[in-house]
Chain A
Amino acid sequence: MSCSIDTRKALEFLQTSGLVHLEIPLEQLVRATTTLDEVAGYVLAWEKYVLVVAAECDETAAAEQ
């Protein structure tokens, strides 16, 4: 019986996977992680500094409007 697979096809086959999928899946549509850091404008661990800077930025933004 002749062989139906040539060397190239055999090597290609060995490098394929049907169990490991790495293309972009649907979970991107349902990403639910929050971005509290961005919301709070949090920079380093110093609440006072952050609160004051954030408040000043808000005041500046309000004054520019």
Chain B
Amino acid sequence: MAPMNAGSELPPPWCAVEERAVSWLAAHHTRFDPDTAEERSVLFARKALVEMALLVGLRARLDPAPFDEDYQRLFDRMGAVAKRPSYRELVGRDERALLLYAGTHAALRLCGQHDEEFHHLIEQSVAGRYATSFERIPYRQLDLLHTMELAGVENRLPAVEEILPFTLFCADPSVLRLGDRDIYAITHTIFYATDFGLRVPKWRADFDLSSAIELLEALCLLCRRRGNADLVAELLCSLLCLGIRDSAEAERAWAFLAEVQEPDGRVAGPEGIVHPGLEGGDEEYRSWATAYHTTIVAALAGLLARSSSVIRRQRPSPPAAPDAAPTAAALRRATGWLAEAAVTADLEAALPAAAAAARGARSLREPALAHSALASVVKRVEAEPGPSLWQRIGADVVFECAHGLRATSGGCATLDRFLDDTATALSGLTAIPAAAAGGVVQLMRLDRLSEETARSLIDSADPAPLMAEGSPPAMTARGLVQYAGDDPSRLSSRGSSAHAVAERLAAALPAACKDYKLDEVAVLLQSLALLGWAGHRIVRDGLEFLLRQQSPSGAFGYPAVDDPQQRASLRRRWTQSCVVALSSP
């Protein structure tokens, strides 16, 4: 995809999104009229009307050209509804719904149609000391302020700058914790605070535009991966309102919207966008109800993108890299906890704990941290009768123990023998599966395979099947970790296929966090780092999520169970996963 330079015009296919969307909206203009709605959906029609009116009002404001036929049809419809006493007088009787009616008046004003009677009705409602006074969440308070501003109604409400510090957007939240409702709160905050791209608000002192942009882009990626065109369009509008056009993620969002838009211009909303009680049995109504909002927002994105009135600005430099010290400190505490756990746990549990501790110690360049743990498990392994358990304990456990013993000048005869036998068994091969490549890298690093033999085998491994969609993301992540063998260059060099799989893995992080699957979170983060995404906002927020799961003892995870054995087992397992992820290159 060719990069889009700041200030450049949109390529024609994306320009057409607005035109087609407005065409579809105009073809369904009667649906926006509460008088044509069934009794149970009158309120829904009023909501749709005010949203459509805002689009038409912004069109008049952002583009000086006369309305085309489709915009004119929408304008005529909203004008006709607004003239009816059965509509406009509701503002004097249903004060809690002030915004539902005042927005229509505001939109008419933007179109140069100031209606004195409608204006008076709204002023009376505001003067009633309730409609603008009952407590609203911050972005709705901004909505109220913005509507009053556009409607030209005097008020004594606090200023935008006084409300912004209370918004979610200005708190720079973790992208992994945000639900749809939160994302709407963010996009609407931006719409109203920037007056749809026509002003730069006075953000609070610690507001960082660069972080805000990466937040919006990260959310856009997550929503696009979920196929949520409604939020993708809202986030695209938000980026435009902040003046940002130089955005690879915005380009992907445009491509997505153009792809999901139907030939007649309809852009379907996500599942559940309409209350089940409103869907009814009428397919034509359902088709409109589930798409009108998304189609309006898609049209708005096109309008904002092409308007010369909307403020444009250079993309700021990326935010500074976060301090690595807290991560290193967390890794050190967890490594110490695991080393102690390995001494007291039974051998089957102690080996992975010691291996993870050895990995953590290796990453910290403090091999002594794992010395006692390794000595303890080696002593017990050597005393085990029968076949070596190295074969069944897991390749990563074996290799980390071997690295750890080498770093602490320790030895284990059964381990040495096992590694030599494994290397010997591989030496006659000419090709290996992708998931075995990382193990070959480790055998080479442990001087069990010659570099020439190892390179030949590694080059024979094709990661494409591992990267293909189909497997659960965490399984894909584990496969890629096994392929890369701690060597980021093996994955990050794979261009668009690496980007596609990274998007898929990143998109799996919110659910893994929500369901408290710390093992999955850890392996997804490890794999994303190998794919070159360590600096991505989603990955950084994922890492921070993991760090928030560490207790003062150094263990990771809050089991929320009372049984001591269950607690110990869960924490050992989670801490191993987290140490592996935190100690990745």
Contact = CB atoms under 8 A, between A and B. Distances in A.
B495 interface: no
B523 A15 contact: no
A50 B44 CA distance: 10
Given A43-B275, A44-B184, A45-B181, A15 B40 contact: no
Contacts of A14: 395, 422, 432, 435-436, 438-440, 482
A18 B397 contact: yes
A15 to B, nearest CB: 4
A52 B396 CA distance: 57
A37 interface: yes
Contacts of A52: 43
Interface in A38-65: 41-50, 52-53, 56-57, 60
Interface stretch (B207-215, B302-310, B509-517): B509-517
Contacts of A20: 396, 478, 481, 519, 522-523, 577, 580
Interface centre among B352, B395, B400, B426 (most CB of A within 10 A): B395
Interface residues of A, number: 43
Question: Which label, helix, strand, loop or mixed, suits the secondary structure of the B interface?
Answer: helix
A44 B273 contact: yes
A47 B566 CA distance: 43
Nearest to B517: A27
A33 to B, nearest CB: 6
A26 B277 contact: no
A5 B391 contact: yes
Contacts of B312: none
Nearest to B44: A49
Given A7-B425, A21-B519, A45-B188, A26 B394 contact: no
Given A22-B520, A30-B559, A53-B277, A15 B47 contact: no
Of all A-B residue pairs in the complex, the 4 with the closest CB atoms, nearest first, are A18-B394, A14-B439, A10-B425, A18-B397
Given A7-B425, A10-B421, 8 more contacts: A3-B424, A5-B418, A14-B482, A19-B400, A19-B576, A20-B481, A30-B560, A37-B181
Interface of A: 3-7, 9-11, 13-22, 25-33, 37, 41-50, 52-53, 56-57, 60
28 contacts: A3-B424, A3-B425, A5-B421, A5-B422, A5-B425, A7-B425, A7-B426, A11-B426, A11-B433, A14-B422, A14-B438, A14-B482, A17-B396, A17-B478, A17-B482, A18-B352, A19-B356, A19-B396, A19-B577, A26-B561, A26-B570, A27-B559, A33-B514, A45-B188, A47-B140, A53-B275, A56-B40, A60-B277
